[in-house]
Amino acid sequence: MLDAIFGRLTWDSIILVQAVEQPNINTFITAGAAAMMPVGGVMIVALLTWMKWWKPLFEWLTSVDHKKIGTMYIIFAVIMLFRGVVEGMLMRANQAVGLNGGFLSSDHFNQLFTTHGTNMIFFVAMPFLFGLINIIVPLQIGARDVAFPRLNQISLGLTAAGGFLFMISLMIGEFSTGGWTGYPSFTGRLVNPGVGPDYYILAIAISGIGSTLTGVNFSVTIYKLRTAGMSFMRMPLFTWTALCTSILLIFAMPPLTACCAMLGLDRFLGFHFFTNDMGGNLMNFINLFWMFGHPEVYILILPAFGVMSEISSTFSGKRLYGYTSIVAATMCIAVLSFTVWLHHFFTMGQSATVNAAFGVATMLIAIPTGVKIYDWLATLWGGRIRFTAPMIYLCGFFVLFTIGGLSGVVLASPTLDYQLHNSQFLVAHFHNVIIPGVLFGILAGIHIWFPKIYGFRLMEGLSRITAFLWAIGFILAFMPLYQTGLMGMTRRTVAYEDPALVPWMIVSGIGALILGCAFLSILLTIFVSVLNRKKLMVPIGDPWDGRSLEWATPAPTPEWNFAVLPKVDCRDAFTDAKAKGTAYQPIEKYEDIEMPANTYYGFIIMIMASGLGFGLVWHMWWLAIASLLGAIATAITYAFLPQKQYIIPAAEVREIDEAWRRSAREGRGITRDDEGNEANQGLARPDNITNP
């Protein structure tokens, strides 16, 4: 009877019990980390109760507003980033003392590199980007919300459910040890029958479905909800990259869902998709996984490229150079990203013809990427460059990401890949393009758009320090790995035997420490900024003399985004309006605004998906079936419930909007000299330009 209820879950599955039964450094570290969850949970409940924040919390959890959903994505990503940075630091610390064996057991280390990769890709980078796109794209295209607000909430719920499974594996059971790529037959039923690979499959498949739906949502939003006059070639670059990212999501996530489903069928029902025997072919998993995996990395980098476009024009006070080229390059990258997946397994034994073809295809992607970097540099030419935190991120990107691109070209050659595949050189390469590329883009994007959502800027000084810490930490932690890779050190190795590697590993460990400080610096920056928010307020909403429509709203942006949907007739529409003097002019006619009401739909789906995943992992079939039926019942019920809207009366909209426009027209505004100080109320005056 107990077996039927609890499946294969026993007391020993809980890490806190394991730490008592087998006390050693590995169980202590894991138990400590796992204990943070209930302790943190209790603290949060206490805080919510003391501050009486329960009602606002449920306001947020049931909201379908893209700005709130985007914020929740970002908060989720920050929490997961904390775990990811700790995992990275543990690994690098172990490697620093890893000659002939570090302080971590092999099993612990193996789970660490698996969780680190899985976490960072699926639960940090993607949620960060979905959050930014969610918040900003509807504003940039002059829309009230995304095309499918309820679906947006469901996507968030599915991502959170994947994250739940990922986090609960720390406390109950264990995670996979097969790397974030999870190749069978190592992750097959015979070699790894435990719960680890099941957690892995379900966490990424469930959140993967959420991501597919997000791709549908964003692409339809950009395709159909652009405001009057905004043709495709008048969209801001961040929106362009969001569009290409969405298209990639739509086509690249299904292969992941498919290969996870197949591996699941192998593990749960004994199918022979990827088994060694009876006609199974593990190469199929690898092909499917990388058909997802390669476009995935472009899903990560394209929005960051979009942010770089925004930074290079806004913070040099100039139009973006080569708009058409950059758009063309972005679309080329999106298309080509589907033609190169084999370069992740050049060494799998296929013919030289196949390898050469994919090698050349991979080289082709370097062309549009290079063009974009040149275009951003050219954007700075003829400008007036301000060294704000985003500009520091852009400069760091120029120098460091380019090195990552160089190492990518090296790896693109099958000849060299036969040496460097699965070595530390590879690890250095992908961190080199992800940290100065994706992460810098995300952090810069947060710095730029934070004031839009919360109404106050982040402290400039602390933000700059954060940027430098990330850059220096990255350089120390990952540049040595290029060398160790060339020296022959492989990846995913808990220890090594060559003493010559030790100095490089120590430098790398120091770098990891600095990266830990960089993460704390983010938290400190936000915390201190919140404390000082009164001095940092920018209520009129345009702190950076922005160029696109999102800056033509108050800060924080009201629920409806735009009181009246704007009309545009050129690129950089807001800059154009400011120059012509048509910005902030009074509006004659206000109308009632209909907004979709809050709903529990996404929240319930999150609970059902979590239950389904947990039930499947632990073979608690009753839980899995009940959750699945519950999800279906929820969908059917919501199909019958009337879809509520609520109306914001025109009078209320008029009052808030008119007050904002009036304060903008009557305010003095600032030149960029005062951008970083208290005088910046979010109103821009034409800048004080000196010419030599």
Partner 1 sequence: MSFSIRKSLHPGLNLGEDHGDDRLEAETSVFGFWVFMMSDLVTFGMFFAVFATTMPLACCPGPKELFDLGSVAWQTAFLLASSLTSGMAILTLKQEHASRSASTKKLVFWLLVTVLLGCGFLYREISDFIAMAAAGGPPTRSGYLSALWSLVGLHGLHVTGGLIWCLVIVAGIVVRGVDHRWKLTLLRWAVFWHFLDVVWIAIFSFVFLGGLL
Partner 2 sequence: MIDPSTHLAIAESFLQPMGPVAADQLRHLIIVTLLTLIAVVPVMVSMPWILWRYRRSKPKGEYRPSWESNSFLEWLMWGVPIVVVALIGVNLTIMTFRLDPYKELGKDPLQVQVIGLDWKWIFIYPDEGVALVDELVVPEGRAVELTLTTDTVMQSLQISAIVGQIYAMPAMTTKLNFRAVKQGVAEGMNSQFTGNGFWKQKFQVYSVSKEDYAARMKKAQSSDLSLTDDTYAILAMQGTSEEAKKPLAIENRKGPIEMVLGDPKIFQRVLARYMVEDMTPESQPGSPSYDPKKSPLPPASDKPMMGMEM
For partner 2, the binding residues in 266-285 under the rule CB under 8 A are 275-279, 281-283
Size of the site for partner 2 (CB under 8 A): 99
Distance of CA 579 to the CA centre of its chain: 35
- Cα 361 to Cα 337: distance, rounded to the nearest angstrom: 9
With CB cut-offs between 5 and 8 Å by kind, which of partner 1, partner 2, none does residue 228 bind?
Answer: partner 1
The least CB distance from residue 316 to partner 2, in Å, is 7
* CA-wise closest residue to 161 among 614, 473, 520, 625: 614
The least CB distance from residue 207 to partner 2, in Å, is 23
With CB cut-offs between 5 and 8 Å by kind, which of partner 1, partner 2, none does residue 646 bind?
Answer: none
Q: What is the dihedral of CA 292, 296, 302, 305, to 10 degrees?
A: -150
Contact by Cβ (8 Å): 193, 139: no
C-beta neighbour count of 474 within 10 angstroms: 24
Among the listed residues 53, 183, 468, 638, the single contact to partner 2 using CB under 8 A: 183
The least CB distance from residue 290 to partner 1, in Å, is 12
Nearer to partner 2 among residue 359 and residue 554 (C-beta) = 359
Binding of partner 2 at residue 179 (CB under 8 A)? yes
The least CB distance from residue 175 to partner 2, in Å, is 14
Q: Tokens at residue 506, please?
A: 């120590």
Binding of partner 2 at residue 355 (CB under 8 A)? yes
Of 652-681, binders to partner 2 (CB under 8 A) are: 672
Among the listed residues 14, 220, 383, 590, the single contact to partner 2 using CB under 8 A: 383
Q: Which residue has the tokens 């002019």?
A: 585
537 three-state secondary structure: strand
The least CB distance from residue 556 to partner 2, in Å, is 28
Binding of partner 2 at residue 233 (CB under 8 A)? no
Q: Tokens at residue 295, please?
A: 């476009």
The least CB distance from residue 174 to partner 2, in Å, is 13
Nearer to partner 2 among residue 110 and residue 211 (C-beta) = 110
Of 315-334, binders to partner 2 (CB under 8 A) are: 316-323, 325
Of 399-428, binders to partner 2 (CB under 8 A) are: 399, 402-403, 405-406, 409-410, 412-416, 418-419, 421-423
CA distances from 56 to 19, 519, 607 (A): 38, 28, 20
Beta bridge pairs of residue 570: none
With CB cut-offs between 5 and 8 Å by kind, which of partner 2, partner 1, none does residue 648 bind?
Answer: none
Distance of CA 329 to the CA centre of its chain: 22
Binding of partner 2 at residue 339 (CB under 8 A)? no
Contact by Cβ (8 Å): 356, 406: no
The least CB distance from residue 393 to partner 2, in Å, is 13
Nearer to partner 2 among residue 70 and residue 396 (C-beta) = 396
The least CB distance from residue 221 to partner 2, in Å, is 27
496 three-state secondary structure: strand
Nearer to partner 1 among residue 22 and residue 643 (C-beta) = 643
The least CB distance from residue 284 to partner 1, in Å, is 5
Contact track, partner 2, 100-129, x by CB under 8 A: ------xx--x-------------------
Residue 39 buriedness (CB in 10 A; 0-12 / 13-18 / 19+): exposed
The least CB distance from residue 265 to partner 1, in Å, is 6
Judged by the rule CB under 8 A, the positions of this chain that interact with partner 1 are: 147-148, 212-213, 215-217, 219-220, 223-225, 228, 250-251, 253-255, 257-259, 261-262, 265-266, 269-273, 275, 278-281, 284, 287-288, 291, 632, 636, 639-640, 643
- Cα 608 to Cα 631: distance, rounded to the nearest angstrom: 6
With CB cut-offs between 5 and 8 Å by kind, which of partner 1, partner 2, none does residue 664 bind?
Answer: none
Q: What is the dihedral of CA 376, 378, 381, 384, to 10 degrees?
A: -20
CA distances from 556 to 504, 636, 656 (A): 47, 36, 12
With CB cut-offs between 5 and 8 Å by kind, which of partner 1, partner 2, none does residue 258 bind?
Answer: partner 1
CA atoms within 13 A on the CB side of 6: 10
Beta bridge pairs of residue 496: 99
Among the listed residues 186, 338, 430, 638, the single contact to partner 2 using CB under 8 A: 186
Q: What one-letter code names the amino acid at 403?
A: I
- Cα 543 to Cα 388: distance, rounded to the nearest angstrom: 12
Q: Which residue has the tokens 């004659």?
A: 588
Contacting range for partner 2; rule: CB under 8 A; set: 18-26, 258-266, 353-361, 469-477: 353-361
Nearer to partner 2 among residue 493 and residue 663 (C-beta) = 493
**Largest Cα–Cα separation, the chain:** 85
Instruction: Determine which helix (DSSP H) or strand (DSSP E) holds 360, and give its type and residue range.
Output: helix 352-380
* CA-wise closest residue to 297 among 146, 468, 423, 180: 180
Contacting range for partner 2; rule: CB under 8 A; set: 67-75, 202-210, 381-389, 655-663: 381-389
With CB cut-offs between 5 and 8 Å by kind, which of partner 1, partner 2, none does residue 347 bind?
Answer: partner 2
CA atoms within 13 A on the CB side of 325: 16
With CB cut-offs between 5 and 8 Å by kind, which of partner 2, partner 1, none does residue 490 bind?
Answer: partner 2
- Cα 149 to Cα 66: distance, rounded to the nearest angstrom: 7
Nearer to partner 1 among residue 337 and residue 369 (C-beta) = 337
Of 483-502, binders to partner 2 (CB under 8 A) are: 486-488, 490-500
Among the listed residues 360, 570, 659, 679, the single contact to partner 2 using CB under 8 A: 360
Nearer to partner 1 among residue 281 and residue 402 (C-beta) = 281
Nearer to partner 1 among residue 143 and residue 170 (C-beta) = 143
Three-state secondary structure string covering 561-597 = CCCCCCCCCCCCHHHHHHHHCCCCCCCCCCCCEEEEC
Contact by Cβ (8 Å): 294, 344: yes
Beta bridge pairs of residue 684: 670
